[in-house]
Amino acid sequence: MCYSEGVAKVTILPAGDTYEFDLDTMPYDGHGQPKSFLDVAENFGFHLEHACGGSCACTTCHIVVKKGGEFITEMEDDEADRLDMAADLQLTSRLGCQAVITSNDADIVIEIPSWNRNYVSEGGGSMNLGDAIPAPKK
């Protein structure tokens, strides 16, 4: 698949760091959907929590899209069902492991919700969630 000329651009708030990459050549890191925000985060060493490993079975990768939603895949039913359980849900909330960037023309701004930020800053990790992680859908 060819994603057009140029490079995709993703800015992550509140830090404001911007990552630029070519969707045609960005390798798949093995977490979440290929070309998802989790995939981008893993490629660039940005920490986006992903307690279930990117299999749409938790909400720790919750992001809020602030700009550029037209460059992201439509939400599937599985993602919508899981997202309903997320804290601090907003109209443009997505799961970072399921929302896939669709074009090298993308100029996207996302925000990590404060709940997730606080969780990370307090030393949260996949191993600490225990029973809070629902079992994956079959």
Residues that bind ligand FES (CB under 6 A): 50-52, 54, 56-58, 60-61, 82, 95, 97
Strands 107-111 and 93-95, sheet pairing:
unpaired
Q: Which is nearer to ligand FES, 78 or 105 (CB)?
A: 78
Q: Which is nearer to ligand FES, 9 or 62 (CB)?
A: 62
Give the nearest distance from C-beta 61 to ligand FES in angstroms: 3
Q: Which is nearer to ligand FES, 35 or 82 (CB)?
A: 82
Distance CA 75, CA 113 (A): 19
Q: Contact 113/83 with Cβ under 8 angstroms?
A: no
Give the nearest distance from C-beta 112 to ligand FES in angstroms: 13
Q: Contact 96/50 with Cβ under 8 angstroms?
A: yes
Give the nearest distance from C-beta 105 to ligand FES in angstroms: 25
Sheet containing strand 62-67, edge to edge, reads 17-21, 8-13, 107-111, 62-67, 93-95
